[in-house]
Structure formats: structure tokens, C-alpha cells
């Protein structure tokens, strides 16, 4: 009889709508994006420290490395870097609010969408200027 009742219990569990706070909702995506942007920023800082350290070893090597950064692909990469930094900073503030405000968990979804809205507004101010800079470097104007 226990063999028959176990599949029914399993079927009922799989039909539940609830679950944890992060199961595919804004909290989970916030967590995932925060980790991805954090790792990306870490690797940027690592490369930045290493290429800046070249100045002490060989100024010519430093100039050569910095010269390789002056291309349109790196300009697009800078857009990604700024986007990652802005999201990571805003989401970090959201996490602090969720942790230290007694109603933070209740409003965490709303705060996530506020972070996304602020991110879009800030990126809308940065991306066109960066694209103009990239285009002017490519065309020489």
C-alpha cells in the first residue's frame, strides 16, 4: 500500500505553486546577475592590476598592451563593464535594504524592478556617448 501512496504524494508536491522565494522569480535572477556581474568585475580588476603593473617592468610593454585596448571591441566591452558595475552597485544597495529593513523581503520584487529601471536610465545616458566615442575613434573624426 505504501508503494501506491508514494506516487500520489510525489504528484501533489510537483503541482504546488509556492516554493522558495527564489524559484525562478525576481529574487533568483537578482542573485544570478549579482554573481555574474561580481565575477566579471573581479576579472576586469585582475587584468587591470596586471596591465598597470607592467609600467614598472617595461613602459614599452605597458604602452603596447594599452594600445591593444584602443579598438571598437574593447569599447563595446567598456559598455558591458559599466553596465555590470552599475547593476552590481544598485543591486548591492537593494540587498542591503532587504537585509536591514524589516519590510525588505516584502518589497524585494518591487525593489528589483526599481534597480532594473534605474539601470536602464543610467545606461541610456552612457551608451550613446560611448558609441559616439567608439565611432569617432574608428572614423578618425
Q: What is the pLDDT of residue 36?
A: 96
Per-residue model confidence as pLDDT tens digits over 39-61: 999 999 999 999 899 888 888 98
Q: Which domains does the chain have, with CATH numbers?
A: 21-139 (1.20.1300)
Residues in Cβ contact with 122 at an 8 Å cutoff, skipping those fewer than 6 apart: 86
Residues 6+ apart with CB under 8 A from 29: 112
Between the alpha carbon of residue 102 and those of residues 28, 105, 111, 115, the distances in Å are: 20, 8, 14, 19
- Judge whether residue 14 has pLDDT over 80: no
Over residues 68-122, the pLDDT tens digits come to 888 899 999 999 999 999 999 999 999 999 999 898 888 888 999 999 999 999 9
Query: Per-residue confidence at 138, pLDDT binned at 50, 70, 90?
Result: confident
Is 84:41 a contact under the CB 8 Å cutoff?
yes
Amino acid at each position: 500500500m505504501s508503494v501506491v501512496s508514494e506516487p500520489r504524494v510525489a504528484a501533489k508536491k510537483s503541482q504546488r505553486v509556492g516554493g522558495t522565494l527564489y524559484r525562478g522569480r525576481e529574487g533568483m535572477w537578482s542573485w544570478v546577475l549579482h554573481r555574474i556581474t561580481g565575477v566579471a568585475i573581479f576579472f576586469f580588476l585582475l587584468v587591470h592590476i596586471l596591465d598597470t603593473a607592467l609600467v614598472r617592468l617595461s613602459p614599452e610593454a605597458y604602452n603596447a598592451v594599452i594600445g591593444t585596448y584602443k579598438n571598437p571591441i574593447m569599447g563595446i566591452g567598456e559598455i558591458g563593464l559599466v553596465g555590470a558595475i552599475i547593476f552590481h552597485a544598485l543591486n548591492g544597495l537593494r540587498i542591503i535594504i532587504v537585509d536591514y529593513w524589516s519590510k525588505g523581503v516584502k518589497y524585494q520584487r518591487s525593489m528589483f524592478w526599481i534597480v532594473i529601471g534605474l539601470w536602464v536610465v543610467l545606461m541610456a545616458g552612457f551608451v550613446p556617448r560611448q558609441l559616439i566615442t567608439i565611432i569617432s575613434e574608428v572614423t578618425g573624426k
